[in-house]
Amino acid sequence: MEAEIIAVGTELLLGDILNTNAQFLSRELAQLGINVHFQSVVGDNPERLESVVNLARSRSDLLIFSGGLGPTQDDLTKQTVAHAFGDELRFDEEELDKIRAFFTAWGRTMPENNRRQAYVPVHGRKIENHNGTAPGMIFEDTRAPGKYAVLLPGPPYELKPMFLDTVRPWLAAMTRSALHSETLRVMGVGESHLEEKIGHLLENENPTAALYAKTAEVVIRVTAKADTPEHAKEMCEEYAQKFYAILGDKIYARGEQPIEYATVAALRAAGKTAALAESCTGGLVAKRLTDVPGASAVFGYGACTYSNGIKEKMLGVRHETLEAHGAVSSETAAEMARGVRRVSGADFGIGITGIAGPDGGTDEKPVGTVYMAVADAENTYVQKLVLTGRTRATVRESSAQHAFDMLRRIALGLPQLTAQRFDSEEPAHLREQTTALRDA
Amino acid sequence: MEAEIIAVGTELLLGDILNTNAQFLSRELAQLGINVHFQSVVGDNPERLESVVNLARSRSDLLIFSGGLGPTQDDLTKQTVAHAFGDELRFDEEELDKIRAFFTAWGRTMPENNRRQAYVPVHGRKIENHNGTAPGMIFEDTRAPGKYAVLLPGPPYELKPMFLDTVRPWLAAMTRSALHSETLRVMGVGESHLEEKIGHLLENENPTAALYAKTAEVVIRVTAKADTPEHAKEMCEEYAQKFYAILGDKIYARGEQPIEYATVAALRAAGKTAALAESCTGGLVAKRLTDVPGASAVFGYGACTYSNGIKEKMLGVRHETLEAHGAVSSETAAEMARGVRRVSGADFGIGITGIAGPDGGTDEKPVGTVYMAVADAENTYVQKLVLTGRTRATVRESSAQHAFDMLRRIALGLPQLTAQRFDSEEPAHLREQTTALRDA
């Protein structure tokens, strides 16, 4: 089956909005094994729309439209497609009731314009829209059965659920396949090392597996195609286990949630609390931690200590430590971690200090040099990151990412991958002993 | 002049990447007064590419291509377009030297594949690429002069400067126009109120002005078209003054930098420092403040105090205040602001406390209720925000935005727009007196 994707909307041609629907639909169709040969965008112009519809109909079996179903858009898309596919539109009282109810639920009366959204195909079928007023629709070409046009509304929060709930299962049934995907999130091993370890698992035909490098983490997407959804899920699960066998606890979670969710979950599971002392990350770690609803159960205090004086005053970092080793050093990171733990009364203290750039780098400590420490009652773990070739923003994001993984591993009682452990009472000479992690 | 935009790349059809080039090019062409009637995406397939090129050539005067110039892509796009436009390709030694030098600068040797990037049009012209190896090119149709094809490489960091530096001036000259744009950033007046005040200025033909609503701010883009760049700039400037006459200091800056840059600049200009006490924003304000390189000159300490106990311990918020008014109250915000000012020794203290959601709202204080305070030696300014219908992330972003504006205005000695002023020594009964800002 060969498909093309057509977006209708002048706002796309003016560059006012980005065509994220095309990416979403393309990816979904690729997963179904349906080839997308063309994407097009056309405005709300009758002749140009008609020429695009006719051309697409002549060269593809499946046309997926986004947009052009709004109440102010004059039914142009529906009518043009209905005409090209030998169908007609009828007024649907049931649909009108739904549209009216949608407005009532928001305490408003329905504008007259919205009536026209109640026109649906005579031969084709409508697709329910739970997040807006415009129903979607599927036309089958009355003169060339097996050729389809699917019309979906433009707003992504309407289009996506309609595609996933209705169009995808329909296409999967037609292509006799059910799909299931699992996303594995990996920290603590760079992309190139990862390819060495699991490259052989990425060559498979079904399930497929693909790597996506993100800031300081890698995401593995496993997708299986089978005759039933249950079977596809089972295949995915079985294949995912091969990754677990190699990567173990470096897979920190499944799904779309970033690592701070796993860290909060690990702290909750351990019944432990954490406090933060941030210098170069400047509140980013606290911000990401508190992005997680319910973070207050495990987090009470984050200190953004952006000057030496404040590090001394708020965290009790010793003046001599700052003098002897500098603010960006493993010694300072360790004292920050211990200090914030002590003043807050939390179970774990985290200290992060580094040079995010663009200025402030030296030969010895270039931009991207970051020291971080986690202290508990007995131990202080310290690691050095050298995040070269990065922007200020990515140095900070990478640092936060590593801090979350360090804390997650400690909360779960897992061994630290690159950090060195020290007795929390014995702070001297940490610098010489820290290991350098060179991150791709 | 009627244009269309054609992206070449299988990765777009697979949904692996988002077509941001189409948006960028569309917006730029719209600014030049050139109508974009179609956008298309096609893969690296000879027949389909040829059909797209021929169709586009038949219906448009200007074809802008992105992608398809990479070393592994077989010259397909160049050859197809050259053929359709009656031109040929020649090998360019000078170009080869540049490509080779590009690799040398990165300490690598040039792969053989890259040689083919040195083929350029015989009749058309090449476009220099300062950020990559593939030159761009402009073909004029030898059989239909006045019809053009512009080929640009796919990576946005190569395409954008090539378009802005070479293609845009060429198109501007051809359409006998020079363009200039100014972006005015506005805080402290909602979008609907803004439309009332300046709606009449948005109807103009040249310069044009458009509003873009962002989180808790609005951006006005003024674009003038003239015979020379100097004249366009002058027209823009003159038109911008009309907005200043109405909005005054609510225009916090020009350009693309967010408000934290203006706040840091205001503090630097005043020679003042600020300290933060954040509850609901959880480090976001500190994070955004330290996104600004050089923020350390005005910022030393940010406390993310996420529990009542920590607010008491670290900021000296009184237990009775928390008991009597709750953590989310103007009294607590005021004591947080004063407390963090006192403990840090900064000139200004900022306190922010609220309910970001998704849980924790009550009838009296629904999700989106936020109190913020700024304290200096004499006064404490307090305002209440009611940010209804938002997500946790937008409640937090809006709060940060308002905190930056409050601080900016105080640092510049401007009057507060919605906050109430209190003597810093007299904290009682603030709540009844705060004004509510209902933000669209």
Residues of B in contact with A297 (CB under 8 A): none
Domain spans, chain B? 2-174, 178-254, 259-438
Q: Which residue has the higher pLDDT, A105 or B188?
A: B188
Q: Is the pLDDT of residue B438 over 60?
A: no
Does B168 contact A at CB distance below 8 Å?
A: no
Burial of B245 (0-12, 13-18, 19+ CB in 10 A): exposed
Q: Region A13-17: what's the mean pLDDT?
A: 89
Of B295, B299, B359, the CB nearest to A293: B359
pLDDT category of residue A42 using cuts at 50, 70 and 90: very high
Q: Is the pLDDT of residue B429 over 60?
A: no
Q: DSSP H helical segments within B87-228, as ranges?
A: 93-105, 156-162, 168-174, 191-198
pLDDT category of residue B91 using cuts at 50, 70 and 90: very high
DSSP lists the bridge partners of residue A269 as: none
Spatial neighbors of B224 by CB under 8 A, at least 6 apart, are: B179, B180, B181, B206, B207, B208, B232, B233, B235, B236, B239
Residue that has been written with the tokens 């507060």 in this structure: B416
H or E element that contains B245: helix B229-247
For chain A, what is the radius of gyration of the CA atoms? Answer: 28
DSSP state of A132: S
Parallel, antiparallel, or unpaired: how do β-strands B348-354 and B369-375 relate? antiparallel
pLDDT, tens digit, 9 for 90 and up, residues B292-314: 999 999 999 999 999 999 999 99
Q: Which residues, numbered 45 to 64 in chain B, qualify as contacts with chain A under a Cβ-Cβ cut-off of 8 Å?
A: 45, 48, 52, 55
Q: Is the pLDDT of residue B426 over 50?
A: no
DSSP lists the bridge partners of residue B192 as: none
Tell me which of A104-108, A391-395, B47-51 is least confident. Answer: A104-108
Q: Report percent pLDDT > 70 for chain A.
A: 93
Q: What is the pLDDT, as a whole number, of residue A436? A: 32
Q: Is the pLDDT of residue B135 over 90?
A: yes
The 3-class secondary structure across B270-327, one letter per residue, is: HCCCEEEEECCCCCHHHHHHCCCCCHHHCEEEEEEECCHHHHHHHHCCCHHHHHHHCC
**C-beta of residue A316 within 8 angstroms of C-beta of residue A332:** no
Of A18, A48, A301, the CB nearest to B306: A301
pLDDT category of residue B315 using cuts at 50, 70 and 90: very high
Of B13, B306, B310, the CB nearest to A39: B13
Q: Is the pLDDT of residue B114 over 50?
A: yes
Q: Is the pLDDT of residue A136 over 90?
A: yes
Q: Region B153-181: what's the mean pLDDT?
A: 89
CATH superfamily of A259-438: CinA-like (3.90.950.20)
Closest CA–CA distance from residue A52 to any residue of chain B (Å): 9
pLDDT, tens digit, 9 for 90 and up, residues A141-183: 999 999 999 999 999 989 999 999 999 999 988 887 777 889 9
Closest CA–CA distance from residue B248 to any residue of chain A (Å): 27
DSSP state of A165: I
Does A15 contact B at CB distance below 8 Å?
A: yes
Quote the CA–CA distance of B326 and B308 in Å, as a whole number.
9
Domain A178-254 has CATH 3.30.70.2860: yes
pLDDT, tens digit, 9 for 90 and up, residues A76-92: 999 999 999 999 999 99
Interface contact flag, A15 B24, Cβ < 8 Å: yes
Q: Is the pLDDT of residue B12 over 90?
A: yes
Taking CA atoms, A20 is separated from A12, A85, A371, in Å, by 10, 27, 38
Start-to-end CA distance of chain A, whole Å, equals: 40
Quote the CA–CA distance of B52 and B54 in Å, as a whole number.
6
Quote the CA–CA distance of B354 and B371 in Å, as a whole number.
6
Closest CA–CA distance from residue B416 to any residue of chain A (Å): 26
Does A295 contact B at CB distance below 8 Å?
A: yes
H or E element that contains A262: helix A259-270
pLDDT, tens digit, 9 for 90 and up, residues A332-362: 999 999 999 999 999 999 999 999 988 888 8
pLDDT, tens digit, 9 for 90 and up, residues B264-292: 999 999 999 999 999 999 999 999 999 99
Q: State the average pLDDT for chain B.
A: 90
Cα four-point dihedral sign B304, B310, B311, B315: negative
Interface contact flag, A304 B309, Cβ < 8 Å: no
Nearest-CA residue of chain A relative to B45? Answer: A37
- Long-range residue pairs from A397-400, CB within 8 A, at least 24 positions apart, any chain: A397/A215, A397/A216, A397/A284, A398/A215, A398/A216, A398/A370, A398/A439, A399/A280, A399/A281, A399/A284, A399/A285, A399/A352, A399/A354, A399/A356, A399/A370, A399/A372, A400/A281, A400/A284, A400/A285, A400/A288
pLDDT, tens digit, 9 for 90 and up, residues A198-241: 989 988 989 988 887 788 898 898 988 888 888 999 999 999 99
SS3 A14: coil
Q: Is the pLDDT of residue B329 over 90?
A: yes
Spatial neighbors of A114 by CB under 8 A, at least 6 apart, are: A71, A99, A103, A133
CATH superfamily of A2-174: MoaB/Mog-like domain (3.40.980.10)
pLDDT, tens digit, 9 for 90 and up, residues A400-440: 999 999 999 999 999 887 777 665 554 433 433 333 333 32
Q: Which residues, numbered 332 to 371 in chain A, qualify as contacts with chain B under a Cβ-Cβ cut-off of 8 Å?
A: 343-344, 357-359
Closest CA–CA distance from residue A244 to any residue of chain B (Å): 25
Interface contact flag, B30 A43, Cβ < 8 Å: no
Q: What is the pLDDT, as a whole number, of residue A112? A: 84
Spatial neighbors of A276 by CB under 8 A, at least 6 apart, are: A285, A286, A289, A299, A301, A302, A303, A340, A349, A350, A352, B304
Does B16 contact A at CB distance below 8 Å?
A: yes
Output the pTM of the full model: 0.74
